[in-house]
Amino acid sequence: MRSSVIIATWLSFRGVQTHALGPFEKNIAARADHLNIATTALKPLLSQNASVILPTDNDWDALQIRGTSPRIHPKFNAIVEPATEADVQKTVQFASKFGIPFLAVSGTHGWTKTLNNLPYGIQINMRKLNSVTVDPSGNTATIGGGTLQWEANKVLYAKGKQAVLTLCECTSIAGPMLAGGHSMLQARHGYTLDNLVSARVILANGTAVTASSSSNSDLFWALRGAGQSFGIVTSLQLNVYDIPSTWTISTFIYRSDKLEAVLDAVNKLDGDAMRSQNLVINGVGTRIPPMDPQNPMIIYTLSYQGPEAEALPYFSKFKAIGPITVKPSTNVNNMELYKITQNSVDSAACARNKNSMGSGVSLPSWNTTAARAAFNIFAKMTADRRFSRSVFLLENYGMQGVRAVDPSLTSLSLEERQYPAVANPTIWWNGTAAVGQADAEAYGEQIRQALFAGLPKGAKKHTYVNYAVGTENFNQMYGYDTARVQRLKTLKKAYDPENRFGFYNPVPLA
């Protein structure tokens, strides 16, 4: 019988997978006849609008391109585009049954190198599960698991709504949310994951469940902080809010000698309990040779969701530091916001198929001595022509909304709930040479260690899961308090004992 041939072939895959994979076996696993068998076996199980795509198909090459390929290159040898939740379920059941590795892909902007550990297997491309519906109450929206930020923003904006979306238009909603979701609205409403009401999740064994505070509440807890290690979200229900106002924005460009003055001003604002929850502070170090051929510039964008009169007292503090240029924008609506803050789909930040690497560090405040040391390394790195386009993100989006959430409600680490300052040297370079990658990692690590050297006594080293390089240890990303991390590991063992969701900064089994 045909199916027994298929199963026998996949079982031989399974044998390959459970032993150490050598290059020879990987090669075998990629053989075209096996892929054809996969199509034959899986395709009839899927809905009419689902697709299965193989290396011989026209769409194949385009679907290998990621935000940060070639640096990030999970090794796929078949792609499934589910069109329904049941399609995701059947694909996971099929893959799990025969021990075939798989990985969900939505925005393609995941940039941790643990994604490269996928040895071969199925790309579950979530992009057909792309939908946004504001629920009848007007307080939540139901969003497909493969929806991108800009797609959700567009639908919400048309209804006068906004959600705790992340800054770049090009990432998915689910991807950032599952480990946090830093947002221009976090000071008011918490991280994206704090706004998750419920999610439909396909577990490792192919079961579809609802996770919410009243259904599978332990899974709901784990999903909000370590979600990529637990399942595939096919749809999610997120809080939405009425748009209160347009934005007032001002961008200040300083010479690099103003770093200490700017960071002191940011620390003062962050330490002020009265800091407005409407204010977002977004800094970037980057080279602009016509302005300064020797050193990177420092660019600070202050965004305020509210009228100019309320924003000006904040802006005046940054003006007083002595920028060389100031660029104001008033009455910016939620559709224009991404363009003005240089986070739109056509921005450099959203470029695809270019090596980039984050090397994130979260901090309880800026230590200007340590920041200067880190900035000097950044200056040296960007003097190296290969890395000249890199940017040093210096983020303080505001924490009141994040800290207002009881930390026991989600698996998110305590550091991620508390630390207001995020530094993320974002390193860009061209080409596939291993030396480029190694040098980028070395620079990233030096910058990171310089910042960590400025931590106050007793403060823990922390990296936001979604800004990890992929070399961090578990505690640096997921936290240090024993009860929390033990619960995470125990749940991981219960929900995913074979570690099928093991390619994104994975939570180890207990």
Ligand X SMILES: *[C@@H]1O[C@H](CO)[C@@H](O)[C@H](O)[C@H]1NC(C)=O
Ligand Y SMILES: Cc1cc2nc3c(=O)[nH]c(=O)nc-3n(C[C@H](O)[C@H](O)[C@H](O)COP(=O)(O)OP(=O)(O)OC[C@H]3O[C@@H](n4cnc5c(N)ncnc54)[C@H](O)[C@@H]3O)c2cc1C
Positions touching ligand Y (CB under 6 A) are 67, 103-111, 126, 145, 166-168, 171-172, 174-176, 178, 180-182, 228, 232-233, 349-350, 466, 503-504
- Which does residue 478 bind out of ligand X, ligand Y, none, counting CB within 5 to 8 angstroms by kind? none
Distances (CA, A) of 505 to 74, 120, 122, 206, 451: 14, 18, 19, 22, 22
The DSSP symbol for 194 reads G
Closest to ligand Y by CB, 37 or 507:
507
Residue 460 contact, options ligand X, ligand Y, none, Cβ 5-8 Å cut-off depending on partner type:
none
In the bound state with ligand X, the residue whose beta carbon lies nearer, of 48 and 58, is 48
**Least distance from ligand X to the Cβ atom of residue 479, Å:** 22
Asked if residue 488 binds ligand X (CB under 6 A), the reply is no
Nearest distance from residue 180's CB to ligand Y, in Å? 5
Number of chain positions touching ligand X (CB under 6 A): 19
Q: Which range touches ligand X (CB under 6 A), out of 43-51, 86-94, 390-398, 403-411?
A: 43-51
Q: Which does 78 bind (CB under 5 to 8 A by kind): ligand X, ligand Y, none?
A: none
CA atoms within 13 A on the CB side of 290: 0
Say if residues 490 and 483 touch (Cβ distance below 8 Å).
Answer: no
Q: At what angle do helices 434-452 and 368-383 cross, to 10 degrees?
A: 160
Which of ligand Y, ligand X, none binds 161 (CB below 5-8 Å, type-dependent)? none
- In 2-136, beta strands by DSSP E: 51-53, 78-81, 102-105, 122-125, 132-134
- 446, 387 contact by CB (below 8 A): no
Nearer residue to ligand X within complex by CB, 197 or 209: 209
Q: What CA–CA distance (Å, rounded) separates 413 from 465?
A: 10
Rounded CA separation 408/452 (Å): 26
Which residues within the stretch 376-415 sit at the binding site for ligand X (CB under 6 A)? 385-386, 388
Contact (CB, 8 A) for 102 and 38: no
- From the list ligand X, ligand Y, none, which binds 228 (C-beta under 5 to 8 Å, kind-based)? ligand Y
Q: Is 217 in the site for ligand X (CB under 6 A)?
A: no
Which residue, 336 or 445, has its beta carbon nearer to ligand X? Answer: 445
Q: Which is nearer to ligand Y, 373 or 391 (CB)?
A: 391
Asked if residue 2 binds ligand X (CB under 6 A), the reply is no
The contacts of residue 14 (CB under 8 Å, 6+ apart) are: 98, 99, 100
Residue 172 contact partner, candidates ligand Y, ligand X, none, CB within 5 to 8 A by sort of partner: ligand Y
Nearer to ligand Y by C-beta: 128 or 287?
A: 128
Residues contacting residue 288 through CB under 8 Å, at least 6 positions apart: 253, 296, 297
What are the helix (H) ranges across 159-295? Answer: 174-177, 186-189, 217-226, 259-271
Query: Virtual CA dihedral for 509, 459, 395, 350, nearest 10 degrees?
Result: -20
CA distances from 409 to 148, 230, 491 (A): 26, 17, 15
Instruction: CB nearer to ligand X: give 425 or 454.
Output: 454
Phi–psi pair at 355, nearest 5 degrees: -60, 130
Residue 48 in the binding site for ligand X (CB under 6 A) = yes
Q: Binding pattern to ligand X, positions 418-447, x when CB under 6 A?
A: ------------x-----------------
CB nearer to ligand Y: pick between 452 and 503: 503
Q: Which does 49 bind (CB under 5 to 8 A by kind): ligand Y, ligand X, none?
A: ligand X
Q: What are phi and psi of 82, to 5 degrees?
A: -65, 145
- How far apart are the C-alpha atoms of 29 and 8, rounded to whole Å? 14
Is 207 near ligand X (CB under 6 A)? yes
Min dist CB 486 to ligand X, Å, is 18
Number of other CB atoms surrounding residue 481 within 10 Å: 14
Residue 223 binds ligand X, judged by CB under 6 A: no
**From ligand X, ligand Y, none, which one binds at residue 23 (CB under 5 to 8 Å depending on kind)?**
none
Residues lying near ligand X in the complex (CB under 6 A): 47-49, 203, 205, 207, 367, 369-370, 373, 385-386, 388, 430, 453-454, 456, 494-495
